[in-house]
Structure 1
Amino acid sequence: MEGKVVILGGGVAALGATYHLVKHGTHPVIIERSREIGGLASSYRIGDFYIERFYHHFFPTDTLVFDLAKELGIENKMLWKKTRMGFYHKDKLYGFTSPLDIIRFMPLSFANRVRFGLTMLKIAKTREFGNLDKLTAKEWLISTFGQEIYQEIFLPMLKIKFAMSLDKASAAFVYGRLRARAESRARNISAEKLGYMENGYHDLIDAMYRKAKGKCSFYYNTEVMEIQYNEHNYSIKTRKDGKITTITADYIINTLPLEVFAKLAKGFPPQFMENVRKIKYQAVICATIGLTKKLSDYYWINISSAELPFHGVIEHTNFIPSSHYNNNHIAYVFNYVTPEHPFWRINEKKLMKAYIGGLKRMFPDIADKDVLWHRVAKERYATPIFLQGYEEDMKSVEDFRHLYFAGSFKIYPHSRNVNNVLRTGFEAAEHLIADEGK
């Protein structure tokens, strides 16, 4: 079987590449392991509504998503809401959005509350990352915010996110996350303005798929077993329903996590493979929970308490009203973990018992009877681990003889979101189109 252009993976980056190629007259083959497209942006169908498997929103700066929605004729489905952030610290929930919230945040001295607010305003106005990739997050945060703010606010969250790699966490990554948040509040300092679509990214994914359908080939439930470089082309061995098939490709856009690609790749130069193997990934567990009532007034709650079984609570229906979801109140809880973490191995029943127990501790009014339904998603290669010096490692993974890369590993140091991942797919497609024309 032949496929002149083959895209490995069916997530957001792959869809971006597919859409861009089809738009410019190239008809790719897309190979996706699961039975649906969308990857980390795919959705559950709960009754008559869709809700994403992993929480998402977009920022006012996500111009690629806005332009694409307009091009696809679905810009009328975009919603903008003001949201509030909370901070759960030593068994107490604080508001953490407006200047008044920060002034009331008693774990910090008054001087450091003022310092935190002024520093975040400064970050919102700064456009350059400078040499932050060469610094650790600890170095930059202490020099920028001071020891107390680092200790009380940032250190607990860095421990959650980076675990064993805490001392090597990238300053540029942390700065990028803070800047995205600060920019979303730039025009309204009392709330954070975020965007969503009526059915989440399901609407965008579906619209892109419909535009591309008929001009490309989607192979679902198809696992890539081997990617062989043959000097003049590539042989891709796949398996579906126990049947092995080999596809010959002249061009490949790889959107698989690089750890996965490295296990499948054969015949590539040793130095190229050494560079690919530098990029490591972290796993995530995300539970979506339908409830009879709301938990709080906050959309996003950061957690600094190591005693709780999860790292954050996103109360989705404090963002998009419960009326969109048959009056179900929907919350996400999540953990960033390694595959060795006990939660990665235990079954869903035990995991949800721990998660519901954690919610009861935070919100004593919640009882078992308030839980209507739940779904659990686990993704082994959810996000690259952004450590000090990551930029050099990222740039060392270069396109190779009609093999192009797209995906979350390429968005650094910018915030890891759908807009930026989508952009990597567009860029890979542009490079391929340029090479096709040579």
Structure 2
Amino acid sequence: MRICIIGGGLTGLTAAYHLGRDHEVDLYEKRRCLGGCVSSYEIGDYRIEEFYHHCFAGDSRLFSLMESLRIADRLEWLKGTSGYYADGILYPLNSPVEILRYPLLSFTDKIRLALLTMRAGKMDSTSLDGITARDFVVREIGERAYRSFFEPLLASKFGDRRDEISAAWLVSRIAIRSNRGLSGERLGYLKGGFFTLIDALSDEVGRHCVIRLQDPATSLSREPDGWRVNGQRYDAVISTIPPHTVPGGVLSHLPRIPYQGAACMLLSLDHDVTSGIYWLNMKDPAPYGAVVAHTNFVPLERYGEHLVYLASYFQDTLPPRKDQAMLDDFCQRFHVQPGQIKWHRMAVDQFAGPLYTTGFRERVLPYQEKGLFLAGMFSGPNYPERSMEGAVCAGEEVASLLTREEGA
């Protein structure tokens, strides 16, 4: 069977990996590299992700893929510390003592938050799909905790649409981030970065499939005996790109899934700016919502320079001069002289992830729609939050369904 896969991110690569040995597969990718949001920069003698990444203890399908690619021995478990930047002060929030010292939550609010964190993993998040994160937090912890702690986090990620976000998303985030010890969170990373995963997957796919880089799918049409993509005939097509961007109007009948963009700046510095903290959330207004100090998570000596991400999200279009606004604020806020920044890169993805608004569960797409196979951030495994685990699951499941449906 001749199969077309549109999109060379982790979902598309996983689907190609499972289909390529038994079928004739063409993989179309608009960029000049594979990996999608898991793509990496090549900086000197090392690779570093364009967008910060780590994995979690429950990512079983991701780990199975690593095993089959013979790279599981590169997986390591590291400590990720976190903090909150509020009123111009950096507060570490890892040990019980640090949390108790945090002045912007009352003792009662801290107890309620701790109890919610303990319960989150046992909650049925799908039952919270119709409740806003705001209403849920106010009900469980209180209005004051929402205003001083949760609302700034939601605002930095979702902007003016923060009041539409589902409690299902929030609870899933709390649950997945609750694998903590007394001094930080246990997170997974691959030696060599997640480039190690994409590189191994790309090599294996390239042995059995045709990879078409810098070749976006610009035309798609249904024919009596199959499909035609960019003038080429196929028996089946898997699309992993945002549904509203699929060419040919094949999915125009579907309600549009709301997406948001991400702008992620990576900087090289000659010193640490977050006092050893890996993940620093911003309560104070800033043109970025988090400062992610990669080399406070992965050992500094692997890179020879301090690496810091500035994470920002946007709706519709990227604001003009966003990169300069991020740089200027960062330098002023963290007392960094421009000459202390060795280099910086900016990665922008207009469709970095869905907006998990209330009722999103009803928008989750099936793996097949009008004969077209679909898998991606909009699929079931990525509800109520996208992840590398969800990307792998979606790729595996759509490949399995295609094989069954087409009788191959």
Q: 2:129 aligns with which of 133, 136, 142?
A: 133
Contact kept in structure 1, 2:364 and 2:383, CA below 8 Å = no
| Distance change >3 Å, CA 210–CA 420, structure 1 → 2 | same
Q: Which moved more, 1:134-143 or 1:44-53?
A: 134-143
| Distance change >3 Å, CA 81–CA 171, structure 1 → 2 | same
CA distance in 2, matches of 1:102, 1:232: 63
User: Residue by residue, what CA displacement relative to the aligned partner does 1:306-362 show, whole Å, maximum 9, x if unpaired?
Assistant: 2x221111000001111111x1110000210023452xx33xxxx444223222343
Contact kept in structure 2, 1:173 and 1:412, CA below 8 Å = no
Secondary structure, aligned partner of 1:408: coil
AA aligned opposite 2:139: S
Aligned to 2:207: 214
- Cα offset, 1:400, TM superposition: 2.6
CA distance in 2, matches of 1:136, 1:256: 27
User: Residue by residue, what CA displacement relative to the aligned partner does 1:67-90 show, whole Å, maximum 9, x if unpaired?
Assistant: 111221111211211121011112
AA aligned opposite 2:369: F
- Cα offset, 1:99, TM superposition: 2.5
Secondary structure, aligned partner of 2:218: strand
User: Residue by residue, what CA displacement relative to the aligned partner does 1:148-190 show, whole Å, maximum 9, x if unpaired?
Assistant: 11111111121222223222211111111111111x22xx243
- Structure 1: runs of 5 or more not aligned: 238-245
- Cα offset, 1:421, TM superposition: 1.2
CA distance in 2, matches of 1:426, 1:22: 12
| Distance change >3 Å, CA 148–CA 253, structure 1 → 2 | same
Contact kept in structure 1, 2:2 and 2:23, CA below 8 Å = no
Secondary structure, aligned partner of 2:83: strand
Q: 1:4 aligns with which of 2, 5, 8?
A: 2
1:100-139 alignment runs, 5 A limit: 100-124=97-121, 126-139=122-135
Aligned to 2:287: 309
AA aligned opposite 1:360: C
CA distance in 1, matches of 2:17, 2:360: 29
**Normalised by the size of structure 1, how large is the TM-score?**
0.88
Aligned to 2:142: 146
- Structure 2: runs of 5 or more not aligned: none
Secondary structure, aligned partner of 1:134: coil
Q: 1:62 aligns with which of 37, 47, 59?
A: 59
Q: 1:95 aligns with which of 80, 92, 96?
A: 92
State the identity as a percent. 30
CA distance in 2, matches of 1:393, 1:118: 31
CA distance in 1, matches of 2:81, 2:159: 27
Aligned to 2:311: 334
Aligned to 1:393: 363
AA aligned opposite 2:15: A
Aligned to 1:241: none
Is the aligned partner of 1:255 residue 2:216?
Answer: no
Aligned to 1:362: 333
Secondary structure, aligned partner of 1:222: coil
Q: 2:301 aligns with which of 303, 323, 330?
A: 323
1:128-207 alignment runs, 5 A limit: 128-182=124-178, 184-185=179-180, 188-207=181-200
Q: 1:42 aligns with which of 39, 43, 49?
A: 39
1:390-429 alignment runs, 5 A limit: 390-395=360-365, 397=366, 399-410=368-379, 411-429=381-399
CA distance in 2, matches of 1:253, 1:135: 33
AA aligned opposite 2:185: E
Secondary structure, aligned partner of 1:214: helix
Q: Which moved more, 1:26-35 or 1:5-14?
A: 26-35
**Normalised by the size of structure 2, how large is the TM-score?**
0.95
- Cα offset, 1:4, TM superposition: 1.5
CA distance in 1, matches of 2:382, 2:40: 25
- Cα offset, 1:133, TM superposition: 0.6
CA distance in 2, matches of 1:273, 1:121: 42
Contact kept in structure 2, 1:99 and 1:117, CA below 8 Å = no
User: Residue by residue, what CA displacement relative to the aligned partner does 1:238-264 show, whole Å, maximum 9, x if unpaired?
Assistant: xxxxxxxx1111101100112211xx1
Contact kept in structure 2, 1:103 and 1:114, CA below 8 Å = no
Q: 2:272 aligns with which of 294, 304, 313?
A: 294
Query: Size of the alignment, in residue pairs?
Result: 406
Aligned to 1:235: 228
